[in-house]
Structure 1
Amino acid sequence: MKFYSFFNSSTSWRVRIALALKGLEPDFHGVNIRAGMHHDADYVHKINPSATVPAIVDNGFNLGQSLAIIDWLDGKYPEPRLIPAEPVLRARVLEFSYLVACDIHPVNNLRILKYLQDVLKVSPQQKDEWYAHWLAEGMAAVERLLARANEIYSGPWCFGAQPTLADCCLIPQFGNAQRMGCDMAPYRRARAVFDHAAVHPAFVKSEAKNQPDYIPPPHAAAPASSPSKDNIKA
């Protein structure tokens, strides 16, 4: 299996978590979306027609879109299962995952921020305010969903004792928001999940700084944990 990823892409990060949880070691291919490699003709026509990351290629089968990839991985490598089979829990996990993947991420990803900056010519402050506004709206909803889940499912993850697709989506979103300098203190339930994941081997392995294509931020003297807006969200 070939896996096409960019270290700072939260969608790639979701799939990296899933791969690590399942103990899979695909053939890694870095796609630098800052440099526009995702628009290269060979990549678009041979790997991912959506011109995005991530993507996987497995024996002639090509697939993009992180949630579709994780669903495919669940079908082919069902242990551990990340999208539950039980109908109610499955629906709750998908509800949460779609909130992150469809409501928070799309309005704050790299191409949106670049359009705001390069085409609409918003100021850096306005761009940051845009990011913070939509992040806060989405994370407030995340907290409400986690509050409901905590009443039913007992455990350190979003929905109980085992990580699911919900955790694969939450951790990258939370991590990138921190890096962008957002105040994440109000989101205590999400923070608890994030802190628990921070010491789990599969989640550690999936972090941006542990990827083969990792590019350190320009201010190398700053602590690794410090947010850097130079590393724009992908």
Structure 2
Amino acid sequence: MILHGYWRSGTSYRTRIALNLKGLAYEQAGVDLRAGDQRSDAFRALNPQGLVPALETADGVLTQSPAILEWLEERYPEPPLLPVTPADRAVVRAMAAAVACDIHPLNNLRVLNAVRALGGEANAWAAQWITAGFAALEVMIARRGGGFAFGDRPTLADCHLVPQAYSAERFGVDPTPYPHLMAVVETACAHPAFADAHPDRQSDADA
């Protein structure tokens, strides 16, 4: 498999975590978002949306990280990243969606550039939505966490949460109101699959 992504992209980061948790081998091809590589004809041939990540697989090119993570779970079910029961799976998916649907899309690069173009303060904009999402996730994790966001094993929720916590730090979000969430992040970041996926460890990262 070849993962086309950007070292600091949250969606690429969560995909690397899931691939690592599954123990899968993959190559990486850097797509420099700051240089506009995502708008090149070559990349748009892989993903017409011009967004990262894109994952080349034996089943074809996959796009949209939530879809990629679900494909990984179905194609490579061990170790599982979803709990056993439908109700518990729904909780984990809700945690993941809180990031993928309600936080991350509002603080990705193209949205921040649009905020700046309209005269807004991009970091404050991003922090507003991260704070709102983390407040909800803090309650969810307090109810269902057990070392990780849900229970005592990594799930799709953790794949989404850790990259968002990395972004929160970049945008200056105060972590103090979220002790359960930050405890999960600390536990996860000590896991080799998460540590190896960290942006600073990627070959295309800034020096």
TM-score by length of 2: 0.96
The 5 Å alignment of 1:172-211 reads 172-211=163-202
Letter in 2 for 1:143: E
Task: Kindly indicate whether residue 60 of structure 2 is the aligned counterpart of residue 69 of structure 1.
Answer: no
Residue in 1 that maps onto 2:13: 13
Letter in 2 for 1:52: L
The SS at the match of 1:172 is: helix
Identity over aligned pairs, percent: 43
Q: Aligned partners of 1:161 and 1:5: how far apart in 2? A: 29
Letter in 1 for 2:135: A
1:132 counterpart (120, 127, 130): 127
Q: Which runs of 5+ in 1 are unaligned?
A: 217-234
Q: Which runs of 5+ in 2 are unaligned?
A: none
What is the CA distance between 1:42 and its match in structure 2?
1.5
Q: Which string of whole-angstrom CA distances, capped at 9 and with x for unpartnered residues, describes residues 128-160 of structure 1?
A: 22112111111111112112214xxxx210111
What is the CA distance between 1:48 and its match in structure 2?
1.0
The 5 Å alignment of 1:62-141 reads 62-117=61-116, 119-122=117-120, 126-141=121-136
Larger Rg belongs to: 1
Q: Which string of whole-angstrom CA distances, capped at 9 and with x for unpartnered residues, describes residues 36-92 of structure 1?
A: 1111112112x1122101111113601111110011111111111113342011000
Task: Kindly indicate whether residue 34 of structure 2 is the aligned counterpart of residue 39 of structure 1.
Answer: no
Residue in 1 that maps onto 2:29: 29
Residue in 1 that maps onto 2:153: 162
The SS at the match of 1:24 is: coil
Q: Aligned partners of 1:165 and 1:51: how far apart in 2? A: 24
Q: Aligned partners of 1:165 and 1:141: how far apart in 2? A: 17
The SS at the match of 1:143 is: helix
Contact preservation (8 Å) 1:71, 1:83: no
Q: Aligned partners of 1:110 and 1:76: how far apart in 2? A: 30
Runs ≥4 residues deviating over 3 A? none
Letter in 2 for 1:174: A
Q: Aligned partners of 1:190 and 1:60: how far apart in 2? A: 35
Q: Aligned partners of 1:210 and 1:130: how far apart in 2? A: 28
Contact preservation (8 Å) 1:39, 1:51: yes
The SS at the match of 2:4 is: strand
Q: Aligned partners of 1:204 and 1:6: how far apart in 2? A: 17
What is the CA distance between 1:127 and its match in structure 2?
2.1
Contact preservation (8 Å) 1:16, 1:206: yes
